[in-house]
Structure 1
Amino acid sequence: MMPVRIAAIHVTQTTRRFLKPFRNAKVHMETLDYLRVDLCGDDGSHGHAEMTAMPGYSSETIASMRTAIEVHFAPVLLQMEALKENDIIQALRQTLPGNPYAHSVVELALLDLRARLLGAPAHALLGGATRNEVPLGAIVTLDTPAAMAEEARYWHALGARTLQVKVALDAQSSLARVDAIHQAIGSDTVIAIDGNGSFQVVTALQTMKVLERYNVGFFEQPVPAWDIQGMATLCRAGLIPIVADESLFTAHDALRIVQERAADGFNLKLAKSGIRETQRIMAIADAAGIPYGLGAMLETPFGSLAGIHFAATLRQPLFPAELVGPWKMRDPRIPDGWLSQDDFAWKVPSSPGWGGTPED
């Protein structure tokens, strides 16, 4: 097999509109922009990936990602051998440190290209799938208690049995939202809450106390990302398991969280960490006995494929994958055959690469 070199890099942007505005403690969005990267091999092969930089969550923007890729990464990538992943990743890190979202979308496109060149599904290059389907949990958008209860009924009817419920700022509003959802769907569903860093330690403790009777699965990122000591305080309280998200981008973050005993679980996201850094985080978590699951960033159907492949390799995830972005969009266009016929789950593709393209 002759070496395949990267001959061109194409970057495009697309926008999707939500069925209803998406809200959490940080952001209110009616639309979301996505960046697509196409790595072209000199033999006519292609590797695709798609990523968003969610306002209120990412320090990057679609514009900054595009600049990083077109101005800084492209000159380095051109003519590099596509299968020499180690050389490519090292070159990108040396060229432009930081910028995790820009790094991640290029790394994902490279994985798709490599897998297609090797004639294997992407998960085979990640250690292999442990299941044929990826079960899904759902995300309940921040809204009035009544509106959130209605959305919870929608997810429950689809088959979701784990809900990540957005909460914000204080105990009483959080109690009202969780109580309304609990009454709407009963006790056969795990309710977890996500503060997106909007609570202070005191109000987070108050929230945990008033929600104790609901057997909440976990409290994700209650306090700001920088407040590792605050996360540790909440862990010591032992009322509800604490999961790190915004505090966790790199293996260095994971190591500090473990050292400070500042989380009971990790929410992994390919957008913020990429493949390699996520695997380094997992290794630290495994050594420390900390469970983890795969979160998401409201990806499109095609954008969800990377998460599907990655989630399929996790043996005992802390929670079902949160790859439900398409259900929040006005025109999701989920291709036939991508979903389970029996459960609320994605099928794990077996064809080369992601098993799909942005045109599907």
Structure 2
Amino acid sequence: MKIDFLEHTLQFKFDAGTSRGVMREHNVVYVILNDSESGIRGIGECAPLPGLSIDNKTQVIDFLQGLKKSEEYLNIPLTAEEVFEIAEELVPEYLPSVRFGLETALLDLISGGKKEIFEGEFYQGQKRIPINGLIWMGDEEFMLSQIRKKIDAGFNCLKMKIGAIDFETELSILNYIRRNFSEKDLTIRVDANGAFTIGEALHKLEKLSKLNLHSIEQPIAAGNIEGMKELCEKTPLPIALDEELIGVNAVKGLELLSEINPHYIILKPTLLGGLKASDIWIKNAEKLDIDWWMTSALESNIGLNAISQFTAFKNVSLPQGLGTGQLYHNNIASPLMIENGEIYYDTKTKWDLSLFKQTH
């Protein structure tokens, strides 16, 4: 098996604002595996997020260059179980995005290079996944414009990023939504990305809870386990852990979840070490009756496709965070489509893989 990789810079269609700053582009690295005998090619995506991932683009490229030199040791697996064993054996834990990229490239390869990561109804176009509409930070008019577009597009669950602009303005926007759409008609999630201080968090959660929200993601910064545990005990608004899981070994996740006891966890395979690691987090959460949903970490459609197929395999009912395929000017065109607040795989649409023609 021959290994190659390709760097690509995804360009946002707008300034994507979060409490950590504004993003205008996202650098990703595709890992490309070629079966020299059959000519079949598998493609995976390594897309670490600066300031959030524990790995970075330089580390990803250095590792893949080393792997390319030792490619004679790469045997083609026959099953998904073997894929996960190879990825875990080859890729160190401090490179979670590479584990995800290698896992999905191998899964693509053994399915014939058809982008069928998991056999099932989603890939066959027979199953749709409910998703939330993502509302990015910006000035009030920009945020309201996004909200109107998402609602007009048929979304009944919105996720609004908060924590970067004035809190009272954010409350005003949420109040506007609630005046026009009841809790029965529209589910609202908010994501603070750790923006609240410990001292102000509970007071802000009390104000937010009056708006009949579904949940809040990561109200305080990750790493303060005692603070988050206390917040989860006292909060009037359900809390979902997100950044709190990053850098934590999935096997040891049961201990963390038992300690904090959140209402939900958010799973991003690129940041958590791949699909196998995400599966372990899911099993640990379910042992404790903690619900979960899957979210893209702003990958292109290569990564999003893998995450969507994995998610569909889990028979989810909660809206997932998989609506990121329309963020970029220069995404990889794919059969992934969004309609009425659901993502599905349109079997009549072909992948445009022309970007990868320069690799062998």
Report what 2:305 is aligned to: 305
Q: Which amino acid aligns with 1:123?
A: F
Q: 1:262 to 1:174 in 2, by over 3 A?
A: farther
Distance in 1 of aligned mates of 2:149 and 2:333: 18
Q: Is the CA contact 1:150–1:184 (under 8 Å) kept in the aligned structure 2? A: no
Report what 1:285 is aligned to: 285
Report what 1:92 is aligned to: 90
Report what 2:237 is aligned to: 240
Report what 2:191 is aligned to: 194
Matched, 1:264 2:260: no
Q: How many residues align?
A: 345
- The runs of at least 4 consecutive aligned structure 1 residues that moved more than 6 Å come to 125-131
Q: Supply the RMSD in Å over aligned alpha carbons.
A: 3.0
Q: Deviation string for 1:225-262 (max 9, x for gaps)?
A: 11122221121114111101111133245213322134
What's the CA shift for 1:186?
A: 5.6
Q: Is the CA contact 1:269–1:278 (under 8 Å) kept in the aligned structure 2? A: yes
Q: 1:180 to 1:357 in 2, by over 3 A?
A: same
Report what 1:327 is aligned to: 326
Distance in 2 of aligned mates of 1:350 and 1:253: 39
SS at 2:15's partner residue?
strand
Q: Which amino acid aligns with 2:93?
A: P
Q: 1:77 to 1:32 in 2, by over 3 A?
A: farther
Q: Is the CA contact 2:100–2:270 (under 8 Å) kept in the aligned structure 1? A: yes
What's the CA shift for 1:137?
A: 1.0
Identity %: 21
Matched, 1:159 2:159: no
- 5 Å matches for 1:124-139? 124=119, 132-139=127-134
Q: Is the CA contact 2:337–2:346 (under 8 Å) kept in the aligned structure 1? A: no
Q: Deviation string for 1:194-224 (max 9, x for gaps)?
A: 1111212232211111112211111101111
Q: Which amino acid aligns with 2:153?
A: L
Q: Is the CA contact 1:126–1:310 (under 8 Å) kept in the aligned structure 2? A: no
Report what 2:358 is aligned to: none
Matched, 1:230 2:227: yes
What's the CA shift for 1:132?
A: 0.8
Structure 1 gaps, min length 5: 1-5
> Residue 205 of structure 1: which of 202, 207, 222 is its match?
202
Q: Which amino acid aligns with 1:305?
A: N
SS at 1:124's partner residue?
coil
Report what 2:107 is aligned to: 111
SS at 2:118's partner residue?
helix
TM-score by length of 1: 0.85
What's the CA shift for 1:22?
A: 0.6
SS at 1:339's partner residue?
strand
TM-score by length of 2: 0.85
Matched, 1:63 2:58: yes
Q: Which amino acid aligns with 1:24?
A: T
Report what 2:19 is aligned to: 25
